[in-house]
Structures are given as structure tokens and as C-alpha cells.
Structure 1
């Protein structure tokens, strides 16, 4: 039992939190060691696995010292402001982090890189193994379609998602831009309305859809004259993110510090 990965979950009462808790409890090499949520959550003090009909013996807490007392890892899919608070505590106490939170600005990303000097972190906008492989396919495709093809990224998520474009869509844009020698900050187009004029051939466009319970769909369109190529990834369940997060935790077992992503985790670096 001593070799179990002792994992705490942030945002424990949310949809992703529930999925992560179920994944940790289902795996034979992991143990739920803590559960965190905001102080205003009505779930504070409740058993973290009560939603599943099985008790874990771990209460949801808003206190970091209590919620992380027995944990060696924290998996966090919450909001940037919450993640950065957890990040500081984890860095100071040597707790490894798996961060799937999106919406960080440059300062937030820099804070994560700085914390990785003290503890080991896997930081990725999408923990899906399939999405990670898709990113590699996009890198290859972009190099082949750098000239004569217009590049558009279309993403769709559920009605509750608060950031747009999605972190995964932005990462796809970054991968593509890097592959063809462009700066995404200079060529990204996030909105079109009215009389926009002809499309700038160097631009990378983004389109965002929000509705219903869509878990996450991403399509990159390379549109040329007489043909188009589409590379898509569609998620039907959050379980893929949960399983990828556990794989990331296993990857960190022998790491004391450093910043990694899912390419490192699945060996595509």
C-alpha cells in the first residue's frame, strides 16, 4: 500500500472533479489523499466520493494545509486564480502538480514555470492522449500546408465553459504557428463581423461554439484551392482527461522538479 500514488483533487465537487475522483478510486495504483474546493462550495465538509454512493473517508476542504496534508500530487482543472494559489503552496511543500486549467495569461504561465524549479509539474491545456497525438499530426500537416492553404481552427464546448477560445484550440494554434514560422499573437483572428475584406493568407482563424453538453470538439481546417484537409479530435467523455491525468502523475513519480507536458508523458518529445 505504501507505493500508492497519493493524489488530491482540486475542484472536487465539480464535473471534472467527480470524474477525477472516480478515476483515482478505480485505479489500483492510486489513492485519494485529499479534496479541495472553494470555501463557498456547499460540498465543504462532505465526503469527496459521496456523489458516487461510496465513501472515501476524505472530506472536501477549503483549507490547503488540511486538504493537502497527506497528498504527494495535486490534480487541478479549476480556474487560473485558484490554480495559482494552489501552485504557490505546492511549490513550497514539494507537492507535484498536474495542471489542466486553461485561461492563463503570460504572467500565470511564468509563475508555473518558476514553481517548476521547486517541484515537478505537468502542465497541458488538454490531458487527452488523443489530443496530444493530434497536436503532432497538426505540426506535420502545417509544415506541408504552409503555403497556399488557409488555416482555421473550430472548437465546440458545453454551455458552462467560461473561456474562449479553448486552451486546446489556442495550443493547436501555437503548434501550427511555430511549425510554419509565425507568431500566433500576430496572426490570430478571433472574430469576424461585418465587412472584413479578403482573408489575410498569413492569418490563423478561430471559431468558437458553445452549447449543450458538448465535452470538447476541435477541428483544424487546411483549405486550399480544389481541396481541403480536416484534422479533428472529438471527446465523448471527460474520462479521457482523467485517465491522461493519472498517466501524468505516474510519469512524475521519479521527477523532483521540472516543467513537463503531455508530449513528455507519452514519449513524443
Structure 2
């Protein structure tokens, strides 16, 4: 490495043996400006002690570990797509060690989100329910559409994911709902309808409906429907690979480089304001 070449970003991956973990490791290994520095998995995993990139048929020299301090030693940033309880445990150690954090985990409660915001006073964190560049462009389009279609249109959000997803609606669907509700001057907590069954009566035009589908290996489909009289507008995003989430995560890592503290979103990463 020449004196003018910046040191590679040292990245640790949480949940490294899962589908998203494998995609993240592959993306890090393929990036010229990144290096795998740590690989975390749950205690008792049969993968503990194995090389983190063995599934790729190549060696990284990084052994999978359940010990957070071992896995984060020397890391600049941890990418975490696990579950809320695990992410918060990782967050506490990252805060202690000064390791930045990119959070793609969904399903946080308001109290848990407050914990993350508090930790961001000491370490730089980028948190988003979806790391896809395309999804975040769609969020901007939804804000524009909702402001223009603010009267006479019923709004429904339909999302589909694979059978293994444990939270519903998806974090991305909820974010879409928040964007639309904010654009309309509404509070999503007050206007969201998450299920319909039986005799529900006529639709309240002030509500935002959610429909959830779980099945097969669907990576992630989201559609926001603005249904008016005589026309329907649909804004959709469909993921065919988790690679887009991995690449978005690396963009987030690069964005955080050099930042001491603060809580950021993908709008900040992409310069969308």
C-alpha cells in the first residue's frame, strides 16, 4: 500500500452465518477498500472457530466467534442485520469500544430506538429499515406522491417476504407508512390498520392499510397503492437479491468513516436530504 492509499475499512459482520451475513461477507471480500475484521455468530453455533469465508471456498483468516470483544477487536464498523435483542447487546459493546455501527435490523420498539439514539451520542451509527438504494429513492417518491395525492385516494401498503421473516409488517413497509403519514400530516400510530376480518364497515379514508404476505423465498416486495375514483397509482420496489442490501451497507460504512458520533439514515448516506 502506497503512503497515499487510505487504509482499508475494517468491517465486522454480526449474524455471519445467515443468508444476509453470507452476502455481507461476500461483498466485503470483493470490495477493494474494505477488509473483513470480525465475524460474529450466536454461542453454540456449530460454525464457531471456522473461517468466516469458508462458504466462498477461500480463506479470510477471520475465525467466527461468539465473543463480542474478540470479534470487534480492531474493527472500524460492525454491520448488524440480526434481531433487536442481539443488536442492542452488540450496540453496548460497540459504544464501549468506539466501533461504528450500521444497523439493518428491524422490529425495534420505541424504547429500543431510544437506546440506539442515546448510544449515537458517543459513536457514529447509521440505522435504516432497508439499505437498498432503490428503496430509499422510492421513499422520496412516496413523500412527493402523498403530498400531491392528499385528497380522494385510499392508501394501502402491501409487502411480501420469505417464510423465515419473523416480524410483520416489515420495517420497510412501516417506514413507507411513516413517510406517507408524515407527508399527509398524520400520525401512523393513530391511522394504521394492520388487518381486516369480518364485517369491518366502510373504509375510513384517513387510514393507511397494511397487508402482509409470507411465503417461499421472496427476498422482499413492497407496493404502496394510492386508490382513487377512476385511477390507481402504484409505487413498487421488488428485490431479487440481497446483494443490493449488502452494497447499500458498504455505502453506509464508507459514509460513517471519520465520523465520531451521530445517528444517520440512508437519506444522509445517499445525499437525499
Which residue of structure 1 lines up, in the alignment, with residue 100 of structure 2?
96
Structure 1 residue 10 displacement after superposition: 0.1
**In structure 2, C-alpha distance between the alignment counterparts of 1:196 and 1:43, rounded to whole Å:** 49
In structure 2, the gaps of 5 or more residues are: none
Which structure 1 residue ranges, 4+ long, deviate > 4 Å from structure 2? none
Instruction: Tell me, in whole angstroms, the C-alpha distance in 2 between the residues paired with 1:5 and 1:124.
Output: 20
Matching residue of 1:191: 195
Q: Give the counterpart of 1:231 among 235, 248, 264.
A: 235
Aligned counterpart, 2:156? 152
1:72 lines up with 2:72 in the alignment: no
Distance 1:8 1:110 in 2: 24
Corresponding residue SS for 2:257:
helix
**Matching residue of 1:81:** 85
Q: Tell me if 1:165 matches 2:169.
A: yes
Q: Secondary structure at the match of 2:272?
A: coil
Question: In structure 2, which of residues 15, 23, 26 is the aligned counterpart of residue 22 of structure 1?
Answer: 26
Name the residue aligned to 1:255: 259
* 2:118 aligned residue: 114
SS in 2 for 1:254: coil
User: TM-score with structure 2 length normalisation?
Assistant: 0.98
Q: TM-score, normalised by structure 1?
A: 0.99
Shift of 1:92: 1.3
Aligned counterparts of 1:211 and 1:40: Cα–Cα separation in 2: 28
1:86-120 deviation digits (Å, cap 9, x = unpaired) = 00110111100000000000011001100000000
Look up the SS of the partner of 1:146 in the other structure. coil
> Structure 1, residues 34-78: CA drift from partner, whole Å, max 9, x if none?
000110221111110011111111011000111011211000000
For residues 176 and 37 of structure 1, the distance between their equivalents in structure 2, rounded to whole angstroms, comes to 36
Does residue 46 of structure 1 match 2:39? no
Distance in 2 of aligned mates of 1:44 and 1:147: 56
SS in 2 for 1:147: coil
User: Any idea what the Cα deviations from partners look like across 1:116-165, whole Å, max 9, x if unmatched?
Assistant: 00000000000000000000000000011111000000000000000000
For 2:216, what is the secondary structure of its paired residue? Answer: coil
**Runs of at least 5 residues in structure 1 that lack an aligned partner in the other structure:** none
Q: How far apart, in 2, do the equivalents of 1:42 and 1:137 lie?
A: 44
